[in-house]
Structure 1
Amino acid sequence: MRATISLYNAARTPLIRFVGKRSVPKSVDHTPRVHPASPAGALPDSFAAYRAKAQQHGPLGRAQFSSGIGSQPGSALGPIRPQSGEFFDRAELPARFGRLPWSAAEIEAVETGGASMLA
């Protein structure tokens, strides 16, 4: 006897029972709205207008891609500098935010999986 075939053919009954009939709301508003935490407080006019202002690793304008991707060096895409108070790397932060050096006891605990702390 093949148990898998008999289990496959058995009727499956769900473990959750829902009360009442399924109903879809008749009036659902799908119009785009501004997110409550949006800094601008307004929707963009169009995706093209948003893309013209957006910047990710350099400007996203179409003019840079006119001659093909990779035809220009990255430095030609425009300057990328953090604003004041922003940092791109943890190493650029002041020394008080740097990583603390590991002690010999901590290194030993990591290497032994914590067994050295109990001995």
Structure 2
Amino acid sequence: MNATKILHQGRQPMIRFLGKRTTPTHIDHSPKVHPASPTHALPESFASYRQKAQQHGPLNQSNKYSTGHIGGSPGSSLGPVEAGKGNYFDRSELPKRFQRLAWSQAEIEAVESGGASMFA
């Protein structure tokens, strides 16, 4: 216990601050356009911004299924789900030369033994 007191008595912080702490007398909090803004203009109001904003799709959906959250509408309302020409959803739909090959019994044993059965 006394050793801890002795250690803390001579402690000096390694960082030194110059001058007295001061806060700015005037800070401008007025809204400003971001320098990288595509329109270089502020929106007229938040409501008008929400009408045009998109986040994972339009925010102003007004269909009968919308409940205001993701998954609020059924998948069938999104339209047909078909792969376009030259696109495939599963590897089994590809031509035979690109499909998965069946594993042989020797390959299965090599994997299960960690490769040791190949050299034994």
Q: TM-score, normalised by structure 1?
A: 0.46
Bigger Rg over Cα: 2
- Report which structure shows greater RCO (CA 8 Å, sep ≥6): 1
